[in-house]
Chains A and B, each alone.
Chain A
Amino acid sequence: MVSDTSIDSMYLENLDEFINDEGRIVTYKWLSLTLGVHTNVAKQMLYHFVSSQHDSDKGDNLNVTYIVSGVVAREGDHPGVHKIWLVKEDSLAAAKTKMKDVISVHIYSVQKTKLQDMNVLYSANYDKVKENIMSINKYSGIECPDAKVRSTAALAKIRQENAYQAPPEPVKKESKYKPSQIKNDIKKEPGSENDDKQTNGKSNQIASMFARQNKKVEVKKEGAKHKKTPSSAGSKTKGGISAFFNKGPVVKKSDAAESVPLSPSKTSPSKSESSKCSPIKSGSGASSPVKADSIVSSSSETELQESVKESQVESVDTDSSPKRAKKQSKIKAQQQRGKNKRKKGKCDEAPKMKRTRIMQLSDSESSSEEEVEEELFLSPSPPPPEVHGVESDSDEIIPPTPQPKSQDLLNKGGQGRRRKLVDKTFEDEDGYIVTKKEYEFVEDSGDEDVAEMKMDTSPKFETEISPGSTKTSNLHQSKTKTSPQKKSTKATKKSQVADHKKKQSNITNFFSKK
């Protein structure tokens, strides 16, 4: 039934490609299913291929597996049985000798690689067999006309029957003929209720073979969707990313939120606390609450709450001198508020955390100062409101900012500026004398000292003005916050502000879409 003409050169070329180019393991089964030829033809093709390769001296790198069937001689208890062996070329002779009668020797597979393990032969067929599971014997010489593929309805029926009568005899009977179905039925027996699920789930089962096609498509689609969501999310989160860079404010908000419960009793907690602990003797009380109110009205809620919270913290911290006035704490709170506001006004992105550091700075410096001042600085949060230079430095996110000095260096050619730590004393609205250390930008010229002197030695006079002015400026977040400072600061500040406003740009601004 197999004519030599059917094994034409095209097939041999095919084989050559499969084996030598793609490096496949070509079994006769695989070949028959792939090319759609009878298994016997496939075997013959393999044989021809091997012999032609041997003829052309290319056969050296080919490995051939043979399928040897025969009756094995009786050994010990075992009676002689009909066995079918897969053997490698080199052990073919040995295998033949082991058999009493050799019935047939065929080529099972041809491959370039040296087989370490016969298992691969199975996997070589696996995909093809799976594809053709419904008609696996299409090209084989073994037929069973009685074997019929059952419809799903029939299967369901059988399953139901099985559910009632545990031993599934009929199925087994049938199954003799149709191996693929056996699998099906047997698998389904145990849990017949969720058959459907199983059919869907088990990829090996016949029904699912069809479903799988669809599934694949689905999976693909899903993949696409999945992809889309992240990307769209990504584009949406542009804001999120920018938030990443401006972490500060976010944190602040959460703080504020936390402190919300405190807000109603805004002044009371600080008072009660301060009665215990705040350091400075109370002066004229009247003004401060008013101020606080005005602040309240003028400032946004979050700021307020925050500042309240801070004032509390502050008062708690300053537990050293109980007698001092409540007012002081209030003042502090106000300053605090003012500062916060100013900060906010100045740069929304300024991370709150940074204040801590400034405080430490002022702390260490003020430690040597009079008590009053010390009190002011003791708390972790409140640096003197006037410390604009320092603050802004630390507040600014961006690099050039922090080094007015280096800037100065750069500016050397022109009027050099220098940041100086200067003591400032003034009277606040409650009549306290407050001395603060602050950074000032001073012209680097000869009048430096004079300027300094001015600042230094004008305690009371200035105080009358400066507290007011600073306060108001603070309260209104006006640009005049520089009031106690020199004009020179303004310039630097501007540049700082500009720096700090730097924003991450988007790459798509630079490249156009193709």
Chain B
Amino acid sequence: MFEARLVQGSLLKKVLDAIKELLNEASWDCADSGIQLQAMDNSHVSLVSVNLRAEGFDKYRCDRNLIMGMDLTSMSKILKCAANDDIITMKAQDNADTVTFIFESPSQEKVSDYEMKLMNLDQDHLGIPETDYACVIKLPSGEFARICRDLSNFGESIVIACSKEGVKFSAAGDIGTGNIKLAQTSSVDKEEEAVIIEMQEPVTLTFACRYLNMFTKATPLSPQVSLSMSPDVPLVVEYSIGDIGQIQYFLAPKIDDQDT
């Protein structure tokens, strides 16, 4: 029997919003420690990893490890039926072929439950090596979303160049070029509003706007986003999910074509 009750149901809604555009279906791995999801997008350019810790739930019970393959579009439709202040409970029997979502209004006066069929999905897990990134940039998530959105008007790629002075996002295309430079915030009032750069060496990498824009769908989850880069490894874009976990996006950089 698996049961997870989340008083802050809106978090789960936001998580779904953050991944449904990138993934059509994915497996949720439920274990005693919590719920995890890892999946690549169809084109295998990016990878999403969601981690929800058991402690984050108000009630969490997972007797046996369970893999629930879900159609995320359907799941998102179901979660759309939940109000933002609803308490969401996910339930599944061991070896069940369905999962049940129960939405309770805060006053307990309205309780809805939805049952969704599970899918058999191929497990295609990737091992993500622990990496010590050369640059870790923390910035307000809204700012990052804005930058990606603005620069995607210019071209398909965004160059992120991180140096001592700060971080520069640039794009170029038909209509011209755009550059956005962010310097480290000197005086920090609130940490989530600051731009913080931890850097060992300067890094410049090129990424596809399209994916970055899809990543920024996670913006409502967290006021701050962290970008980790090292030369020739995927970018990591990480948002925390309230205080119950985090969502990480890995995006392969565009690299020089070796043929030429």
Interface residues of A (CB under 8 A from B): 216, 219-221, 223-224, 226-228, 230-231, 233-235, 237-238, 240-241, 244-245, 351, 353-354, 357, 394, 396-403, 497-499, 501-514
Contacts and interface: CB of A to CB of B under 8 A. Distances in A.
Interface stretch (B7-15, B216-224, B250-258): B250-258
B173 to A, nearest CB: 8
B33 interface: no
Contacts of B176: 402
Contacts of B119: 223-224, 226-227
Which of B24, B46, B129, B173 gathers the greatest number of chain A CB atoms within 10 Å? B173
Interface of B: 24-25, 40-47, 69, 97, 117-122, 124-129, 155-159, 170-177, 206, 208, 210, 233-234, 250-257, 259-260
B206 A399 contact: yes
B44 A502 contact: no
A223 B117 contact: yes
B233 A230 contact: no
A227 B44 contact: no
Given A230-B24, A397-B155, A506-B45, 4 more contacts: A230-B42, A231-B122, A354-B174, A397-B173
Contacts of A228: 122
B254 A511 contact: no
B47 A224 contact: no
A513 to B, nearest CB: 6
B97 A216 contact: yes
Contact of B43 (A238, A397, A501, A512): A238
Nearest to A508: B44
A219 B117 contact: yes
Given A505-B252, A505-B255, A514-B127, A400 B45 contact: no
Contacts of B44: 234-235, 238, 506-508
19 contacts: A220-B97, A226-B119, A227-B121, A230-B25, A234-B42, A397-B173, A398-B254, A399-B157, A401-B172, A498-B256, A502-B255, A502-B257, A504-B252, A505-B254, A507-B250, A510-B233, A511-B126, A512-B127, A514-B126
Contacts of B175: 357
Which of A227, A234, A510 gathers the greatest number of chain B CB atoms within 10 Å? A510
A353 B174 contact: yes
A237 B252 contact: no
Given A230-B42, A234-B42, A511-B47, A505 B122 contact: no
A231 B27 CA distance: 13
B234 A497 contact: no
Given A402-B177, A510-B234, A234 B127 contact: no
Contact of B157 (A233, A398, A497): A398
B129 A511 contact: yes
Given A227-B122, A511-B128, A397 B251 contact: no
B157 A241 contact: no
Nearest to B176: A402
Contacts of A353: 174
Nearest to A494: B260
A156 B12 CA distance: 52
A231 B40 CA distance: 10
B31 to A, nearest CB: 15
Contacts of A514: 125-127
Given A223-B119, A399-B159, A512 B170 contact: no
Which of A237, A238, A399, A400 gathers the greatest number of chain B CB atoms within 10 Å? A399
Given A504-B252, A511-B128, A498 B117 contact: no
B33 to A, nearest CB: 17
Given A512-B127, A513-B124, A394 B47 contact: no
Nearest to A223: B119
B15 to A, nearest CB: 20
Contact of A237 (B25, B42, B128): B42
Nearest to B41: A234
A398 B260 contact: no
B20 to A, nearest CB: 14
Contacts of B259: 501
A394 B174 contact: yes
A507 B174 contact: no
B120 A501 contact: no
B157 A231 contact: no
A512 B208 contact: no
A504 B46 CA distance: 11
Nearest to A402: B172
A505 B44 CA distance: 9
A251 to B, nearest CB: 13
Contacts of B206: 398-399, 502
A398 B129 CA distance: 29
A219 B118 CA distance: 10
A123 to B, nearest CB: 11
A114 to B, nearest CB: 10
B40 A399 contact: no
Contacts of B41: 234
Contacts of B158: 399
Contacts of A227: 25, 69, 119-122
Nearest to A405: B177
Contacts of B252: 504-507, 509-510
A113 B194 CA distance: 49
B120 A224 contact: yes
Given A241-B45, A514-B125, A399 B255 contact: no
Contacts of B234: 507, 510-511
A141 B56 CA distance: 50
Contact of A398 (B45, B172, B210, B251): B172
A511 B44 CA distance: 11
A240 B41 CA distance: 14
Nearest to B257: A501
Which of B43, B118, B210 gathers the greatest number of chain A CB atoms within 10 Å? B43
Contacts of A233: 42
B96 to A, nearest CB: 12
A245 B69 CA distance: 30
Nearest to B125: A514
Contact of B159 (A221, A400, A505, A508): A400
A507 B252 CA distance: 5
B176 to A, nearest CB: 7
Nearest to B123: A514
Contacts of B25: 227, 230
